[in-house]
Structure 1
Amino acid sequence: MIVGIDLGTTNSLASVWQDGRATLVPNSLGRFLTPSVVSLDTTGEILVGEPARERLASHPLSTVAAFKRSMGTGRSMMLGDRSFRPEELSSFVLRALKADAEAFLGIPVDEAVITVPAYFSDSQRQATRVAGELADLRVERLLNEPTAAALAYGLHEHKEGREGEILVFDLGGGTFDVSVIDLFDGVIEVRATAGDNFLGGEDFDTAIMAWFARTTGLPLPDATDPALAPLSARLRNQVEAARRGLSVSDQVELRIDSGGRSFSATLDAEAFMAVGKPLFDRLRQPVARALADSRIRAENLAAVVLVGGATRMPSVRRLAATLFGRLPLQTIDPDQAVALGAAVQAGLKMRDSALDDVVLTDVAPYTLGIEVVEGSGAGRLLPVIERNTVVPVSRTQTVSPVADFQRRVVVRIYQGESRLVKDNIRLGDLTLELAPRKSRDQEIEVRFTYDINGLLEVTARSVVDNVMERVVIEQHAGVLNAEQVKEHLLALAPLKLAPRDAMGNRLLLARAERLHEASLGTVRKGLAEATAAFDAALASQDSGRILTTAAALAHEVAAAENPT
C-alpha cells in the first residue's frame, strides 16, 4: 500500500486510495489535520501534532514549527539542548502520519507519495526525500502541491462534466503556488506553474504582530530570545486566532498581558487589508507569470480553484475574484485537496483499475541551464530546459570552449530565471577532459535529462572525440548524502514518538500547561491542582483513576478557555 502525504508548513495530512476513491486517514485524536509541530517532552519522547502545538506557548524552547521553510538549507533548530535539521523534524511528522496510516489500514506502510510546493528548488525536493528516508518510507513520487490539488479537482470536475483550463491558486501556511491545468477527457495536463516559497499564512501573522506592536506600544518580542520566547509564542497564537476569526466576524480583538500591563487592539477587515497590502501585492506576480507562460487569458479559464488553509481568508477570496473576474471554487475543503490528490497519485502508482482513464502530465518549475561567458566576462545563464517544459524531458545545447587549446572545460549547472548566473542557484559542476584544439573546432554537446521527481542528469560530450562525462544532480550543500542519512538514522533511533494511544492525555496536559501560564488567581490554582492529580493518576496506571482525573482536568480547562 502506498500512502499519500501532504507535508505542510502548518498542517500535514495522510491519505490512501481505497475502494476506488481517495480517503483521508484520521490521526490518533480522530482528526485529519496534524499540526506540523514537534516538541521534545520532559520524558525525552517526541510529541507531534496538537500536543506539540499546545506547547509552543508553554515550552517554546523545546518546540518547533514552520521548519518546512528551512528544508534544503542545512539550518539546525533547537529542541531543548538538542539540535535537529529540518529533514529530521519533518521525519518525525512523517513517522506520526505513517503510524496513523498503519493503524487505519491494519497493515505496514513503507511507501509514500509526498507533496511539495511546485516552486520548491531541487535541494528542497532532495531534502524532502531524505525526510522520507529518515521516517523509514520509500518515496515513490514527489508531487507538486497544486498538481495534487488538480488531480483531486480533476476527478471531481470531470464527474461534474466541467472541462477546460483550470487555475489552481494554492496559498498555504508557508508557500504560495499557482498552476494552470488543462483538463479534458480524463487527461490532467499542467500547462504552467509559478509561486513564492516564502509567502503564506505565517507571513500574514508576522505582519499582524508588527501592527499590534506599533498600535499598542508593546515591544515586539523576539522568538529567539529565551526570556521573550514565551511572550512571542503567545502573541503569535493570538494573532493566528484573530486572522482566522476574521473569516467569520467583521472584527476581532487581540489582547495580551506582559510586564503587569494589558495590551489590546481591534483588528477589522479594513485594517487587515492595509496591514497585508505588501503581501497581497506579492500574490499577483506569480498569477500573472503562470497565465503568461500558459498563454491563457484570465477570462478564458473554465474555473479558478482555491487550495490551502490561508485561502479561507475573505480578503484572499475577494482578491482572487477581482483578479479573475469570477467567484473561485472551493467545492473541496481547501485544507484537504492536496492530500486527496496525493491519494489519487498513489492509486495511479498502484495501477488501480478505477483510474485507468486518468493521465497526468507535469512541468519543470524552474529553468535549468549552464553558465556561458559574455563579452564582458560576466557569467550568463544559457537555458537548456526552460521552466514549464513538460517532464520527463531531455534537451541539448551545443557550446564551445572560451579559449583555444583548452585541455578541459567545466560545465557549471544552474537553476533559476535570472540572466546572470550569480543570481541563480548553482546545482553542481561537470568536468570534461578535451584534446587541445582551436575553439572553433571544439564543439561540446550538453544534454539535460529531467524526470518527474525532479532528478536531473547532465552529460557533456566532445562532438569531435566522442568523449563523454555524466553527473546526476542529487546532492547539494545543505542536504544530507547517503552516508550522512545512515548516521542520522542511527542518531534518531533512540528517540521515540509518544505512543498513539497516549495522545489524548498528552494533548490534555499540554493544553492545561498552556492555560496555566496564561491564567491567574483561582483559575490558575484550579488548573494546577487538577493537573497534579491527573499526572499522579497517569503514574499509577489505574484506568479508573485516570478517567476520573482526566474529566476533572478537562472541566478546569474548559473553564479557563471560556471564563464567565
Structure 2
Amino acid sequence: MIIGIDLGTTHSLVGRFGKDGPELFPNAQGEVLTPSAISLDDQGNVLVGAAARDRAMTHPESSVSTFKRWMGTSRETRLGSHGFRAEDLSAFVLKSLIADAEAATGEKVTEAIISVPAYFGDAQRKATRIAGELAGIKVERLLNEPTAAALAYGLQERMDGATFIVLDLGGGTFDVSILEIFDGVMQVHASAGDNRLGGEDFLHVLIDLFVTEMKIDLNALTRAELALLRTRMEQVKSALSTKDRITLDIDLQGKHHIWEITEARFQRSSESLLQRVRAPIERAIRDAKLSPSDLAEVILVGGASRMPIFTRLVARMLGRLPLRHVHPDEAIALGACVAAGMKARNEALEEMVLTDVCPYTLGVGVSRDHGNGRRTEGHFSPILERNCTVPVSRSESFNAIEDNQREILLEVYQGESPRVSNNVLLGALSVKLPPRTKVADSVVDVRFTYDVNGVLQVEAKLLSTGNVEELILQNTPGVLNEDEVRARLAELASIKVHPRETQANLATIARLERVYEERLDLRPMLDEWLSTFMAHLESQDLAQIDRVRRELDGALAEIDTSPFA
C-alpha cells in the first residue's frame, strides 16, 4: 500500500487514495490530526501525538514539538537520557502514522509520498527522506506542499489552461507557489517562501504582548508555567479568528492575571510578520512574470491561514477572495493521497504530469580577475537559477586562474547572494590537473543536474583529457551520512514506543493532568475523574474503559473550549 503523509510542524496526517477518493486515517484517539509532538514517560518510553502534546504542560523537560523547523540541521534535543535530532523525532511521528494506516486498512504499508514545503532546501529534503528511512519506510517521492494543495482542490480536473497561486501558511513555514495546468501537465512557474514564518511566530507576538503589559519576566517562569502560557495563548490566537475581543484569565507566579486583546491590536502588533508574508508573494509573482489579475484562483491552506489578518492581507494584495472550502489542516494530506493514487496508477485518476521548480539558485564559488594582478575571491556563479523547471540539466565552463595549477576546487553553493559567504555550502568537488597545465588548457565543463526529488548531481569534465569527476550531494552539512543513519537506526530500535492500543488512554491521562494543572477551580473534580479512570484501567474491562474515556474526553473538550471570560 502506498500512503500519502503530511509531516507538519504542528500536526501530521496520513491517508491513501481509496475507491471513493482520498481518505485520511484516524489515530488511536479517532482524530485525523496527530500533533507533531514527542514525550518520554517516567520509564523512558516514547509517547507520540496528543499525549505528548499535553504532557508538555506537566513534563516540559521531557517533551518537544515544532521540531520540523530544525530539519536539515545538527541541532539535538535532550529528552531524559537520550539526545534526538529532528530526523529521529520525525521518525517517531512517521511510525505512529504508519501504524494508524495499517490499523485502518489491515494492509502493510510499503511506500510513502511525503509532502514538504516548496521552499525546503537540499539539506531539509534529505533530512525528511532520512526520517522516512529511520521509520522503516521507502519514501517514494517528496511532494511540494502547494502542489499537494492543488491536487486536493481537484484543480487538475477543472482548471485546464488556468494559472493560480497557492499560499500555505502552516505552523512553522510559509510557502507560495504559482502553478499552471495545461493539457495534463501541472507546472510550477515560481516558488517562494519563508522557512521561519508560520503560526508559531504569530503566537509569539501574543506572548510578547502579554508579558510586556503584565510586566512578567519570561526567564523567571518555570517550564510548566511557560507551557501553560503557550497553551492558553494558542487558544487566544484561535479564538481571535472568530471574535473581535478576547479576555484571558491565567495564574502565573502565584498571581492572577486578566488580560484583554482585540483582533485589531493583534494585527497592528503583527505588522512585521505581515510584511514578511508580502515579500514571498510579490517575489513569486515577479519571478513568474505575472500580475495579480493573471491569476484565476487564490488558494489558502495551512492551519494558520484561518487568521483573518492573513486573509485580509491576501485579498488586498491579489484583489480577490481566496478559495478555502477544503479543510485547511487537511488539504496537504489529501493532495498527498491523490499523488499516492497517481503513483499506484489508480484508474479513477487521470494521468497527470507534475513538474516542479528548483526553489533556490545553485552554483559554484569563483575568483574574479580584475587585471593588473588584482583578483578577488568568494564570488557566486549561478548555474541553475531559482524557479527553473525540474528535472533540469545545465552546464557552464570554468578554468584555472594561473598556469601550473594542480587542481580546480569546485565548491557548490545554494542561495541568492552574489557572495558565497552568504550562501549555503552543499559540497565540494576536486578536479585534478596534469602537470604544467596552461590556463588555456584547464577548461572544465561543470554540469548540474537536478531532479524532482531535490537531488543534485554535479559532473565536472576536464576538456583537455576527457576525465570526468562526479559528485552526488549526499553528505550535506547538518545531514546524517549513511554510517550515522545506521547508528541512529540501532539506537532508535532500543527505545520503546508505547503500543498504538494504549495511546488513547495515555492521551486522556495526559489531558487530565494538563487541565488539572491549569484549572485551580476544578481540581477536586478533576482529581476524582483521574482516580476513577485509573481504577477502570486496572479493571482491564476494555468496553468499560472505552466508554469512560469517551465521556472524559467529551467533558475535557468542553472545558478546553470555554477558557475565556
Interval of TM-score (by shorter of Structure 1 and Structure 2): over 0.9
Q: 1:60 to 1:396 in 2, by over 3 A?
A: same
User: Which residue number corresponds to residue 45 of structure 2?
Assistant: 45
User: Which residue number corresponds to residue 193 of structure 2?
Assistant: 195
User: Which residue number corresponds to residue 395 of structure 1?
Assistant: 394
1:372-398 per-residue CA deviation (whole Å, 9 max, x = no partner) reads 112451311111111111111111000
Q: Counterpart of 1:140 in 2: which secondary structure?
A: strand
Unaligned runs of 5+ in 2: 370-374
User: Which residue number corresponds to residue 334 of structure 1?
Assistant: 328
- 2:150–2:156 contact (8 Å) kept in structure 1: no
2:337 pairs, out of 333, 343, 352, with: 343
* Aligned-partner Cα distance in 2 for 1:549–1:353: 44
The alpha-carbon deviation at position 159 of structure 1 amounts to: 4.0
- 1:186–1:358 contact (8 Å) kept in structure 2: yes
- 1:113–1:345 contact (8 Å) kept in structure 2: yes
Q: 1:395 to 1:249 in 2, by over 3 A?
A: same
- 1:40–1:46 contact (8 Å) kept in structure 2: yes
Unaligned runs of 5+ in 1: none
Alignment of 1:253-292 (within 5 A): 253-292=247-286
Q: How many pairs does the alignment contain?
A: 557
Q: Counterpart of 1:353 in 2: which secondary structure?
A: coil
1:251 aligns to 2:245 (yes or no): yes
- Aligned-pair Cα RMSD in Å: 2.0
- 2:191–2:387 contact (8 Å) kept in structure 1: yes
The alpha-carbon deviation at position 339 of structure 1 amounts to: 0.8
Q: Counterpart of 2:355 in 1: which secondary structure?
A: strand
Q: Counterpart of 2:163 in 1: which secondary structure?
A: strand
User: Which residue number corresponds to residue 355 of structure 1?
Assistant: 349
Alignment of 1:302-313 (within 5 A): 302-313=296-307
For residue 17 of structure 2, what is the amino acid of its counterpart? W
- 1:110–1:136 contact (8 Å) kept in structure 2: no
TM-score (normalised: structure 2):
0.94
- For structure 1, which segment, 495-504 or 420-429, has the greater mean C-alpha deviation from structure 2 after superposition? 495-504
* Aligned-partner Cα distance in 1 for 2:482–2:412: 22
User: Which residue number corresponds to residue 385 of structure 1?
Assistant: 384
Q: 1:486 to 1:316 in 2, by over 3 A?
A: same
1:459-488 per-residue CA deviation (whole Å, 9 max, x = no partner) reads 111111111111100112221111211111
Alignment of 1:22-421 (within 5 A): 22-153=22-153, 156-160=154-158, 163-221=161-219, 228-375=222-369, 376-421=375-420
Q: 1:18 to 1:549 in 2, by over 3 A?
A: closer
For residue 204 of structure 1, what is the amino acid of its counterpart? F
Q: Taking every aligned residue pair, what percent have the same amino acid on both sides? A: 45
* Aligned-partner Cα distance in 2 for 1:450–1:548: 54
Q: 1:412 to 1:160 in 2, by over 3 A?
A: closer
1:155-174 per-residue CA deviation (whole Å, 9 max, x = no partner) reads x2344456411000111000
User: Which residue number corresponds to residue 453 of structure 2?
Assistant: 453
User: Which residue number corresponds to residue 428 of structure 2?
Assistant: 429
- 2:72–2:125 contact (8 Å) kept in structure 1: yes
Q: 1:421 to 1:552 in 2, by over 3 A?
A: closer
Q: Counterpart of 2:452 in 1: which secondary structure?
A: coil
The alpha-carbon deviation at position 184 of structure 1 amounts to: 2.4
- 2:244–2:264 contact (8 Å) kept in structure 1: no
Q: Counterpart of 2:22 in 1: which secondary structure?
A: strand
1:428-449 per-residue CA deviation (whole Å, 9 max, x = no partner) reads 0001111132212321100111
The alpha-carbon deviation at position 23 of structure 1 amounts to: 1.6
The alpha-carbon deviation at position 125 of structure 1 amounts to: 0.8
- 1:101–1:109 contact (8 Å) kept in structure 2: yes
* Aligned-partner Cα distance in 1 for 2:549–2:152: 40
The alpha-carbon deviation at position 82 of structure 1 amounts to: 2.2
- 2:159–2:181 contact (8 Å) kept in structure 1: no
User: Which residue number corresponds to residue 520 of structure 1?
Assistant: 520
The alpha-carbon deviation at position 50 of structure 1 amounts to: 1.2
* Aligned-partner Cα distance in 2 for 1:556–1:26: 21
- 1:210–1:220 contact (8 Å) kept in structure 2: no
1:69-108 per-residue CA deviation (whole Å, 9 max, x = no partner) reads 0111111112233221110000010001000111122111
1:480-535 per-residue CA deviation (whole Å, 9 max, x = no partner) reads 111211111111113233222222211211111011112326x2133223323322
- 1:71–1:87 contact (8 Å) kept in structure 2: yes
1:205-237 per-residue CA deviation (whole Å, 9 max, x = no partner) reads 011101111111122247xxxx62111111111
- 1:150–1:188 contact (8 Å) kept in structure 2: no
Q: Counterpart of 1:342 in 2: which secondary structure?
A: helix
1:471 aligns to 2:471 (yes or no): yes
- For structure 1, which segment, 183-192 or 530-539, has the greater mean C-alpha deviation from structure 2 after superposition? 530-539
* Aligned-partner Cα distance in 2 for 1:168–1:560: 36
Q: 1:443 to 1:559 in 2, by over 3 A?
A: closer
TM-score (normalised: structure 1):
0.95
Q: 1:544 to 1:106 in 2, by over 3 A?
A: closer
After the TM superposition, which parts of structure 1 deviate over 6 Å for at least 4 consecutive aligned residues?
Answer: none
* Aligned-partner Cα distance in 1 for 2:388–2:346: 28
- 2:414–2:423 contact (8 Å) kept in structure 1: yes
- 1:126–1:475 contact (8 Å) kept in structure 2: no
The alpha-carbon deviation at position 251 of structure 1 amounts to: 1.2
Q: Counterpart of 2:340 in 1: which secondary structure?
A: helix
1:505 aligns to 2:499 (yes or no): no
The alpha-carbon deviation at position 552 of structure 1 amounts to: 7.8
* Aligned-partner Cα distance in 1 for 2:38–2:410: 41
Q: 1:17 to 1:548 in 2, by over 3 A?
A: closer
The alpha-carbon deviation at position 545 of structure 1 amounts to: 6.3
Q: 1:294 to 1:553 in 2, by over 3 A?
A: closer
- For structure 1, which segment, 157-166 or 61-70, has the greater mean C-alpha deviation from structure 2 after superposition? 157-166
* Aligned-partner Cα distance in 1 for 2:295–2:165: 7
- 2:188–2:356 contact (8 Å) kept in structure 1: yes
* Aligned-partner Cα distance in 1 for 2:362–2:46: 39
Q: 1:358 to 1:554 in 2, by over 3 A?
A: closer
User: Which residue number corresponds to residue 372 of structure 2?
Assistant: none
Q: 1:548 to 1:309 in 2, by over 3 A?
A: closer
1:328-372 per-residue CA deviation (whole Å, 9 max, x = no partner) reads 111211111111111121122222233343221111111110011
1:265-292 per-residue CA deviation (whole Å, 9 max, x = no partner) reads 1111111011111000001111111111
- 1:530–1:556 contact (8 Å) kept in structure 2: no
* Aligned-partner Cα distance in 1 for 2:535–2:348: 53
* Aligned-partner Cα distance in 2 for 1:37–1:433: 49
The alpha-carbon deviation at position 399 of structure 1 amounts to: 0.7
* Aligned-partner Cα distance in 2 for 1:446–1:544: 67
For residue 335 of structure 1, what is the amino acid of its counterpart? D
* Aligned-partner Cα distance in 2 for 1:219–1:296: 48
1:6-45 per-residue CA deviation (whole Å, 9 max, x = no partner) reads 0000111112112262221222222111111111122432
* Aligned-partner Cα distance in 2 for 1:392–1:544: 54
